[in-house]
Every structure is written in structure tokens, then in C-alpha cells.
Amino acid sequence: MPAPPPAGITVDVYNATSRAGLAGVTADTLRAQRFEVGTVTNAPAGTTVTAPAEIRHGKNGAAGAAVLARHIRGAVLREIPREGTTVDLFVGPDLGAVTAPSGSPSC
């Protein structure tokens, strides 16, 4: 089964840093990469992300999470118990650019 296109993947973006506005900037970049963006806000208090980003997903969101991870260098995938295909992106302090993977002109 082929990977879903970014346009078919809904990503909720959470800022897990003290850098104001990081979730919004990241969401704008994801939209430019054709991802669907849902919630954009700060991560719940006490959320710690040590990687550049943490992508949380349920079993049905694994394919979308893998596609998103290809756009974020150093992102860590974490399966959590949840329904649906929406993917959560927790932005960490070392997030670099969100870019289309090389060889992916359709992204």
C-alpha cells in the first residue's frame, strides 16, 4: 500500500518549548508542504520533548506519521493508544527546518 500524500494527513501541532509562536510557524510550514493542519497550540504543561520533534500517533495513523517524519530530520515516532488517523507533532527545542524529502516533487 503506498504512503498517503501529505494532503491526506491531519497534523495537530504542539509547541513543547519556551519559544513563543513556534507551533504557528511550524503549522504554516506544514501547510506549505500540503499537510492538513488541525489544532495549533502549546503542549500541555510538563510535556518534555528531547528530540527535535516527537510524532505521536495511533495504530491507524502510523502511515501518516511515517510520511510526516520524512519531513522532519531527527523526529521520533511514538505510538499511543488513540482512535483515528490524526497525528500529533510535538515540537522540541532543536527543531530544524520542515522540508520535503529529497526525491518527492509532489510534496
Can you give the residue ranges of every domain in the chain?
A: 6-35+46-91
Contact 61, 85 (CB under 8 A): yes
Where is pLDDT greater, at 64 or 4?
64
- pTM for the full predicted model: 0.90
Angle at 68 between CA 26 and CA 23, to 5 degrees: 20
| pLDDT, tens digit (0-9, with 9 covering 90-100), for 72-94 | 999 999 999 999 999 999 999 88
* Res. 104: pLDDT tops 90: no
Nearest Cα to Cα of residue 61 among 89, 93, 94, 33: 89
Whether the predicted pLDDT of 33 surpasses 70:
yes
Neighbours of 40 (CB within 10 A): 18
Q: Sign of dihedral through CA atoms 56, 104, 33, 49?
A: positive
Contacts 24+ apart (CB under 8 A), 1-4: 1/63, 3/63, 3/66, 3/67, 4/63, 4/64, 4/67
The CATH number fitting domain 6-35+46-91, selected from 2.60.200, 3.30.70, 3.90.820, 3.40.50:
3.30.70
